[in-house]
């Protein structure tokens, strides 16, 4: 009885307090929690005709707390409808949190959630540690019942040399032979990230298969939220490492997102990596999860936030949002991301300019807004070719955010230094873009509290959130030296 109570309490709370949040207080097409706090996407799937997206959820405050699973559904990946919370931390094995996990449709039509149960236990010296196990819940797309023999993967299933304390975020999938596989994030004894592979015939009884991949301290200490899938004839492994060390402009310190491109060897159960790159080069992106859509697209969604910069604006009733869903492909050995094509259906008024010379600050009539999809192509003027080109947005006399490009180093910089934050944390980030003699294409998507910048048709993406007042809706262009730009801008409809 007491168990159902915890979920009921969360459902009552979110129904009551979620209703106080007006639509304009949220992004228009990025998912936010019904109320309170959100982190990782969980259980992203297509089930019974709709996309389902669950999320790490603490309804009672805008800070992380005992993790529940929030739940939303959508037909187009952009308009989300909140459903009642799906899981609450109400069992012995998950009493300190229902951590991240994934979903799958079983042969009999039931919906299966696989998640990490977390419980804190005392050590001999009186301090506390955490034990993490993998658990199941069965449901119908709205109500879920936890499997009575949870956990299905426990301490005894973790191979020697790997951690029972950092053992989380199962991503479940089908094997080609009809069975099931799941990969789970781990920290190995050398204090570095690793992924464990497990197999099952019925999705209930699991056994350890192999160490899928480990990084020997090259990419962070603990690999969270893994995903593994086929893409354009290769295999891609996504992981979100904690405690990364900076490596040039590819990886920054702290929590990062890493994409390993290579091959999965079915015989050995190992991943052979060829290339490694960051997933998102901006400030806010973590723990992405992917699905294969019914029409065969690999679509990824991430938590558009970073652990080290989680400061909710004063008075906000929600904190944390998902990224745009992005279609993935491989081009020249790199991961390419573009906004899902459904976004084009939200396009309203179009404004188009060609061959506009830019030197000093340039404002173009009709180019403004906080809900927009804008593509800017910049080229150098032969005489006095530009040294820096900059697009400013979410702008008024006191605020702006920006994306800028320096052709001499071929670097793109995203900045929210002047977005209105008065706290000292990360406000800028840079990455390399392909050097095309000063030509660059930027697709900038704004949705009230965020910007996602797709560089050169998705070769790099930089995402960031900001809470600048909505009245700051100006856009301007500026070059040091001479540039020529084309601009195609659509208002996006809420």
Of 35, 53, 67, 78, which lies in the binding site for ligand FRU, with binding defined by CB under 6 A?
67
Query: Under rule CB under 6 A, which residues in 106-125 are in contact with ligand FRU?
Result: 116
If DSSP codes are grouped into helix, strand and coil, which group holds residue 14?
A: helix
Cβ contacts of residue 422 below 8 Å, gap of 6+? none
Nearer to ligand FRU, 185 or 369 (CB): 185
If DSSP codes are grouped into helix, strand and coil, which group holds residue 12?
A: helix
Shortest spacing between CB 255 and ligand FRU, in angstroms:
7
Of 225, 259, 278, 462, which lies in the binding site for ligand FRU, with binding defined by CB under 6 A?
225
Q: How far apart are CA 264 and CA 268, in angstroms?
A: 9
The answer to whether 417 and 426 are in contact (CB under 8 A) is no
Of 90, 94, 96, 224, which lies in the binding site for ligand FRU, with binding defined by CB under 6 A?
224
Total residues found in the chain within this entry: 494
Q: CA–CA distance from 220 to each of 256, 354, 388, 409, 419 (Å)?
A: 8, 45, 34, 27, 30
182 near ligand FRU, judged by CB under 6 A = no
DSSP class of 300: E
DSSP class of 4: H
Of 7, 26, 31, 39, which lies in the binding site for ligand FRU, with binding defined by CB under 6 A?
39
DSSP E strand boundaries for 78-140: 81-87, 98-105, 111-122, 128-139
Shortest spacing between CB 341 and ligand FRU, in angstroms:
28
Peptide bond into 121 cis (omega under 30): no
Rg, Å, the chain Cα set? 23
150 near ligand FRU, judged by CB under 6 A = no
Q: Measured over all CA atoms, what is the biggest interatomic distance in the chain, rounded to whole angstroms?
A: 77
Q: How far apart are CA 243 and CA 389, in angstroms?
A: 33
40 near ligand FRU, judged by CB under 6 A = yes
Of 29, 51, 93, 99, which lies in the binding site for ligand FRU, with binding defined by CB under 6 A?
99
When CB distances to ligand FRU are compared, the closest residue is 99
Nearer to ligand FRU, 219 or 393 (CB): 219
- Strand 98-105: give its sheet, edge to edge: 98-105, 111-122, 128-139, 144-146
Shortest spacing between CB 85 and ligand FRU, in angstroms:
14
Cβ contacts of residue 42 below 8 Å, gap of 6+? 53, 54, 55, 56, 69, 100, 101, 102, 103, 113, 115, 289
96 near ligand FRU, judged by CB under 6 A = no
Shortest spacing between CB 99 and ligand FRU, in angstroms:
3
Of 56, 186, 192, 305, which lies in the binding site for ligand FRU, with binding defined by CB under 6 A?
56
- Kind and range of the H or E run holding 349: strand 347-358
Nearer to ligand FRU, 115 or 386 (CB): 115
Q: How far apart are CA 62 and CA 37, in angstroms?
A: 4
Total residues at interface with ligand FRU (CB under 6 A): 13
The answer to whether 70 and 77 are in contact (CB under 8 A) is no
Nearer to ligand FRU, 222 or 336 (CB): 222
Nearer to ligand FRU, 136 or 412 (CB): 136
289 near ligand FRU, judged by CB under 6 A = no
**Burial status of residue 227 (CB atoms within 10 A of its CB: 0-12, 13-18, 19 or more):** buried
Annotated catalytic residues are: 40
Of 287, 378, 412, 414, which lies in the binding site for ligand FRU, with binding defined by CB under 6 A?
287
Shortest spacing between CB 493 and ligand FRU, in angstroms:
32
Shortest spacing between CB 67 and ligand FRU, in angstroms:
5
Nearer to ligand FRU, 280 or 459 (CB): 280
169 near ligand FRU, judged by CB under 6 A = yes
389 near ligand FRU, judged by CB under 6 A = no
227 near ligand FRU, judged by CB under 6 A = no
Within 10 angstroms of residue 31's Cβ, the number of other Cβ atoms is 26
Nearer to ligand FRU, 144 or 389 (CB): 144
Contacts 24+ apart (CB under 8 A), 414-417: 414/282, 414/283, 414/451, 414/453, 414/462, 414/464, 416/283, 416/464, 416/466
Q: Which residues bind ligand FRU (CB under 6 A)?
A: 39-40, 56, 67, 99-100, 116, 168-169, 224-225, 286-287
């Amino acid at each position: 009885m007491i168990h159902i109570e915890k979920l009921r309490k969360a459902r009552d709370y979110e129904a009551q307090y979620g209703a106080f949040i007006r639509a304009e207080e949220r992004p228009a097409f990025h998912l936010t929690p019904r109320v309170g706090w959100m982190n990782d996407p969980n259980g992203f799937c297509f089930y019974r005709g709709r996309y389902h997206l669950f999320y790490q959820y603490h309804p009672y405050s805008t800070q992380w707390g005992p993790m529940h699973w929030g739940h939303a559904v959508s037909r187009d990946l952009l308009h989300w409808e909140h459903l009642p919370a799906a899981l609450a931390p109400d069992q012995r094995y998950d009493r300190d949190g229902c951590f991240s996990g994934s979903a799958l449709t079983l042969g009999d039509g039931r919906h299966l959630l696989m998640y990490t149960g977390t419980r804190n236990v005392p050590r001999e010296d009186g301090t506390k540690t955490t034990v993490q196990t993998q658990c199941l819940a069965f449901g119908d797309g709205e109500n879920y019942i936890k499997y009575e023999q949870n956990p299905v993967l426990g301490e005894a299933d973790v191979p020697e040399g790997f951690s029972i304390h950092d053992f989380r975020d199962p991503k479940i999938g089908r094997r080609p032979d009809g069975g099931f596989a799941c990969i789970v994030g781990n920290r190995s004894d050398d204090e570095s990230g690793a992924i464990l592979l497990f197999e099952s015939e019925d999705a209930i009884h699991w056994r350890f298969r192999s160490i899928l991949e480990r990084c020997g301290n090259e990419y962070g200490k603990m690999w969270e939220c893994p995903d593994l899938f086929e893409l354009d004839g290769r295999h891609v492994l996504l992981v979100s490492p904690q405690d990364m060390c900076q490596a040039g402009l590819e990886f920054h310190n702290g929590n990062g997102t890493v994409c390993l491109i290579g091959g999965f060897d079915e015989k050995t159960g190992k991943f052979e990596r060829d290339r490694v790159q960051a997933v998102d080069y901006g400030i806010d992106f973590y723990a992405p999860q992917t699905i294969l859509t019914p029409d065969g697209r690999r679509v990824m969604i991430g938590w558009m936030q970073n652990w080290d910069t989680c400061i909710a604006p004063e008075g906000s009733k929600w904190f944390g949002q998902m990224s745009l869903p992005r279609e993935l492909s491989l081009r020249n050995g790199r991961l390419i991301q573009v906004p899902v094509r459904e976004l084009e259906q939200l396009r309203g008024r179009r404004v188009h300019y060609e061959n506009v010379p830019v030197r000093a600050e340039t404002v173009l009539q009709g180019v403004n807004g906080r809900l927009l999809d804008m593509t800017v192509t910049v080229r150098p003027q032969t005489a006095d070719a530009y040294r820096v080109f900059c697009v400013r947005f979410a702008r008024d006399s006191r605020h702006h955010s920006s994306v800028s490009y320096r052709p001499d180093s071929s670097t793109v910089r995203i900045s929210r230094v002047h977005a209105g934050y008065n706290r000292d944390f990360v406000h800028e980030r840079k990455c390399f873009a392909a050097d095309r003699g000063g030509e660059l294409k930027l697709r900038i998507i704004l949705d009230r509290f965020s910007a996602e910048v797709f560089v050169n048709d998705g070769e790099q993406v930089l995402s960031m959130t900001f809470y600048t007042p909505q009245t700051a809706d100006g856009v301007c262009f500026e070059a040091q030296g001479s540039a020529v730009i084309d601009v195609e801008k659509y208002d996006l409809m809420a």
